[in-house]
Structure 1
Amino acid sequence: MANFPIYTLDSAPADSKPALQGLAQTFGMVPNILGAIAGSSKLINGLVGLFGQAHGGNLAEAHVQTLLLTNAVTNGAEWPVAFHSFLGVKEGLSEADVQAIRERRLPADPKVAALSRLARTLIEKRGKVDDHDIAAFTAAGFDQALVLDVILVIAASTITNYTASVTHPPLEEMFQPYAWAA
């Protein structure tokens, strides 16, 4: 198996350090997935741009975490599932809704369910959703334009999901209670 390094703020390549420092300030640490992504300055810098647009935008942070967790489960990305389970609960998602997503079920909360359903559908259908899929999303009270923001979050999470599946970063102790296997 390939062995990808997990960089720290001290060991990261020079072109990756500014992005990694900014992300470390956001999270209060350098999560191992970001240390792995830092091996490519292009990838970490691209992620920062997407990350900044996906968070603090038109969707509440709990809804962003719903999307990120759903995407990780749909992509079978173990490290991101644990991380976004932890963050989802921290951002106000119920433990029951987080568990439902982890089990590939729809959450009980109707808005969370609509977000999760749309994210999973977009990934599984490779973006080829139909009017029914959009109508189910808007019926939960979301504006149709938010479908495009959901695509943005999927784009950002694809970077971390694929990187985790390729690099297999170790799961930090604080996320261990949310460990998940594909």
Structure 2
Amino acid sequence: MSLFTLPTIDTAPEASRPTMQALRENFGFLPNVLATMGANPVLLNGFAGAFSAYHGGGFDECERQVLLLTNAVTLRCPWTIAAHSTFALEDGMTVQEVDDLRAGRLPANPRYAALSRLARLILEKHGVISDREIAAFTAAGFVKEQVFEVILSVGLSTMTAATTNLARTPIEDHFRAQVPSAA
């Protein structure tokens, strides 16, 4: 059961409404986590700004989903695991790639493996990454500065996971088929 009432665009604070509307147009629906964030315009608008920057970066949609799903699994967040598994499949990742990430395994695709490995290390090692770990990332075809986009993915995932876990945000039907079995 949700700890907070999910505001709608009409019931959210005035400062959240334009952002909620824009996010609904972007997704085609308003995900429950964004409705939850809408109760606090500071969180919602901060998230939306970071989200926009992240999606304007140098990774393609599947690479972004590799990062976000890896983060969701590492953060042990059922809502984000279900959502990013769904989005990854919709964006063209294979079932095997999604299953590997959900199980904490590195995918066979070397670029996806490098992204997943680095994201997990950043979370587990609190950002203390060695030169060797960055070299493994760049050896997969990335430029060193893209490490900062991986950090942004970790920040977005942390905001989302903390919000959904704390608020006990309900998982919408659109993501239900991808809810982790332990959730």
TM class by smaller structure: over 0.9
Partner of 2:50: 50
C-alpha RMSD of matched pairs (Å): 1.3
> What's the CA shift string for 1:17-66, capped at 9, x where partnerless?
11111111100111111111111110000011100000132111111111
> Please, which runs of 5 or more residues in structure 2 have no aligned partner?
none
| Amino acid aligned to 1:116 | S
| Amino acid aligned to 1:66 | V
Distance in 2, matches of 1:107 and 1:2, equals 34
Find the residue that maps to 1:145 and give its secondary structure.
helix
Partner of 1:175: 175
Q: 1:2 to 1:92 in 2, by over 3 A?
A: closer
Partner of 2:23: 23
User: TM-score normalized by structure 2?
Assistant: 0.95
- In the TM superposition, structure 1's runs of 4+ consecutive aligned residues that sit over 3 Å from their partners are none
* Paired residues of 1:89 and 1:95 also in contact (CA < 8 A): yes
Distance in 1, matches of 2:10 and 2:92, equals 33
Partner of 1:97: 97
- Could you tell me how far 1:2 is from its partner in structure 2? 7.3
> What's the CA shift string for 1:66-115, capped at 9, x where partnerless?
11111111001110110000001111211111111111111111111110
| Amino acid aligned to 1:51 | F
Percent of residue pairs bearing the same amino acid type = 43
> Please, which runs of 5 or more residues in structure 1 have no aligned partner?
none
